[in-house]
């Protein structure tokens, strides 16, 4: 099963592709979508949509794993994050790729065993589990973790 993991964001949308075969996980690629900051909201969303579409066309994932938006202290920030998340989900859904959503604490727990692990703990665990992965940003590292979460959760739940 090929999984695209997405860590949505209006400024930085992390993405990662991994293959999951039985108990084995293989890193394929990862990166960050960076909409130009000078773009208006609608154009940023379009940029995210187009780049995620291109990633899906290039790597042909079977499923998508994406972080579930949690409520921030600032409702406007939460709403904007939701827009970026929706742009990525629609790009994936247009290719008829099933989408699985995971809460941040579940992602941390599935990868490190601790639901409140920090980004450094996540990065260290990724280096152990996927030594070929060399994420350059926290968004990229989070996207790999999100993809790994689906690989691990689907093994237990019998999901495709």
Out of 103, 139, 140, 142, pick the active-site residue.
Answer: 139
Out of 7, 40, 96, 120, pick the active-site residue.
Answer: 7
Helix spans in 7-137 (H): 41-59, 75-93, 104-112, 119-129
Out of 40, 67, 96, 101, pick the active-site residue.
Answer: 67
What is the rounded CA–CA span in Å between residue 100 and residue 81?
Answer: 17
What is the rounded CA–CA span in Å between residue 26 and residue 139?
Answer: 19
What is the rounded CA–CA span in Å between residue 150 and residue 4?
Answer: 9
Q: Is 7 a catalytic residue?
A: yes
* Distances, alpha carbon 109 to alpha carbons 43, 146, 149, in Å: 35, 11, 9
**Catalytic positions:** 7, 67, 139
């Amino acid at each position: 099963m090929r999984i695209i993991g997405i860590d949505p964001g209006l400024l930085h949308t992390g993405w990662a592709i991994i293959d999951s075969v039985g108990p084995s996980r293989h890193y394929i690629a990862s990166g960050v979508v960076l909409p130009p900051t000078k773009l208006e909201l609608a154009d940023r969303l379009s940029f995210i949509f187009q780049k995620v579409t291109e990633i899906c066309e290039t790597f042909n994932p079977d499923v998508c794993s994406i972080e579930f938006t949690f409520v921030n202290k600032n409702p406007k920030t939460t709403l904007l994050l939701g827009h970026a998340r929706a742009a990525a989900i629609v790009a994936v859904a247009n290719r008829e790729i099933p989408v699985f959503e995971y809460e941040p604490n579940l992602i941390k727990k599935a990868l490190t065993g601790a639901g409140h692990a920090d980004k450094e703990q996540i990065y260290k665990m990724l280096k152990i589990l996927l030594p070929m992965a060399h994420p350059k940003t926290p968004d990229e590292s989070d996207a790999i973790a999100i993809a790994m979460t689906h690989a691990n959760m689907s093994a237990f739940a019998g999901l495709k």
